[in-house]
Structure formats: C-alpha cells, structure tokens
Amino acid sequence: MPGVIGPRTASLALCAATWTAIGSIRASAVEPSASDLPAPSRRARQIVVAWTGCVRAPAGVERTKEEARRRAREALARARSGADFAALVAGYSDEPGAPDRSGDIGEAAPGTPVRELDEALEALAPGQLAPEPVETVFGFHVLQRLADAGPYRIRQVLVTYRGALRAPPATTRSRSEALERAHGLLARLRGGAEFSALARAESDDRASASSGGVLPELRTGIAVPALEKAALAIAPGGIAGPVETPMGFHVIQRLP
C-alpha cells in the first residue's frame, strides 16, 4: 500500500512527540498495517503554544511561559468565538507540521502517556473545547475533542510518475502525464467501468491492485492527510480524485 500509511516517525504526535504509544503515522510509505495499531477511542485537534525552555520547543521560540499562556488563551478565545480552527493552527501553533493537518492529532485510547492531555480529553464531549489551555512539558495546548469518524475502507488506483516516492525505477511518465492519466481513469469509472477490474489492470500499486485496489481498514490519523480528507468527504460508494500524495495520484472509492 505505498503512499497510504505513513511511518510512525512523523508529526502526528503532540508537540512533535507526545502520543508515542499510539505513534505518529504520517507522510510517506507503508509501515505497519492497520491491525498492528491499538484500537483508538478519542480523536482531537490542538494548538500548541511553546515557550523558551519547554521540551522540544522550536528553535525560533523566544517567549516566556507567561507570554505563551496569554497567547494560548487568546487562541482559545478566538476558537470559542467561532474562528476557523485550521486558520488558528496556522497562526498560533508551534507544533511542527500542525498546519498541514489543521492541528489534528489523530486518535488515542484512554491512558495515553501525557497525563494532562489524557485527563483533559476524557473530560470533553465530542466537539467541546477544553475550558483552559492544558499545560504540559511541551507547552500550552488549546485542545478540542472531535467526533470519532470510526473505521473506514477504500480502494484505489494509483498513478505514479518519475520522481514520486517509491515509484518503480522503470517509471518514465512525468507528473503532468500522470495527472492526465489519473483524470482519464476517473472518467472511465464515472462512465461505468468496474473499479476492481480497472485497479487490477491499471494501478501502479501492485500490492493493492491484486485485491482490486482494496486497502486494509483505516482509522483517522492512519492515511496520509490528503487521502484521508478525500475519503471522509465522500459517501460510501462514492468516487473521488485525483488525490495527490508523495506517491502520485490516487483515484479512490469509499467502500460500505
């Protein structure tokens, strides 16, 4: 499943490394299967405001702890007033990679290693913001619990191009050629072509092609962000694409 599930070393963790028990699953090639992951039960997003000297504070952070607290409270007040959370993440969060996923930190089961965050999450209902920024060794967290999207399944046709991550050495098509090809495959599917047959014949991900493009069951935070966003935006049976990831262009169908 190249290009679908990322390694556990990228930036899903809190302030780049807090939910180490469930791991950070982002950005490049397939490592574990979905069945290797602990069953998550809570999903959240956050804004992390660091101060000089806190654990893993980015090099450019020069504010004091009290300045960080005030900044986090300002972000929380704006979130409560209805400001777009993704825009607040981009403007306030010091967590590496957070803007790329709108602050989404995936899911975690009760007992997650960072006690303060675990307790704060447990006290929140889906959709609710923590009443105050949550202080940890990584900074102040403006925390919102999200509804659990639950498990979902998709199938795909992947079109790679020269230079894409894990593209076969013999790949010669350019990115623009790959995009054109992906659009053509999408048109064929919308015209009535059978998805599994098309995946077997045309997908460059030979591992999933053999099963008609079907991928293992996924949960929020496992697939690369662009693919997850596209999959969750369509109803079961719906088709979307082309979705670009570092591996190439994906034409996907959400399964019932």
Give per-residue pLDDT as tens, 221-250: 677 878 888 888 888 899 999 999 999 999
Domain ranges across the chain: 14-146, 153-255
Residue type, 51: W
Phi-psi region of 23 (alpha: psi -120 to 50; beta: other; left: phi over 0): left
Architecture of the domain made up of 14-146:
Roll (3.10)
Has residue 3 got a pLDDT over 60? no
Average of pLDDT values for 83-91?
92
Token digits of residue 104: 């989404």
* Of 94 and 217, more confident: 94
Rounded CA separation 31/5 (Å) = 7
Question: 127 and 101 in contact (C-beta within 8 Å)?
Answer: no
**What residues contact 140, with CB distance under 8 A and at least 6 apart?**
48, 49, 68, 69, 71, 72, 133, 134
Angle at 207 between CA 202 and CA 212, to 5 degrees: 55
Residues in CB range of 158: below 8 A, 6 or more apart: 2, 3, 203, 204, 205, 208, 247, 248, 249, 250
Does residue 33 contact residue 219 with C-beta atoms inside 8 Å?
no
Beta-carbon contacts of residue 144 (< 8 Å; ≥ 6 apart): 44, 45, 46, 79, 85, 124, 127, 128, 129, 130
Q: Which residue has the tokens 């966003």?
A: 229
With 70 as the cut, is the pLDDT of residue 146 above it?
yes
Residue-level pLDDT at 152:
87
Compute how many other C-beta atoms are within 10 angstroms of the C-beta atom of residue 86.
15
The least confident of 22-36, 44-58, 179-193 is: 22-36
d(CA 99, CA 144) in angstroms, rounded, equals 15
- What integer is the mean pLDDT of 147-161? 87
Does the pLDDT at position 11 exceed 80? no
pLDDT at 231: 87
What are the tens digits of pLDDT across the range 106-118? 766 666 678 899 8
Give 4's pLDDT tier (boundaries 50, 70, 90): low
Q: Classify domain 153-255 by CATH architecture.
A: Roll (3.10)
pLDDT tens string 97-106: 888 778 888 7
> Is residue 34's pLDDT more than 80?
no
pTM (global) more than 0.85: no
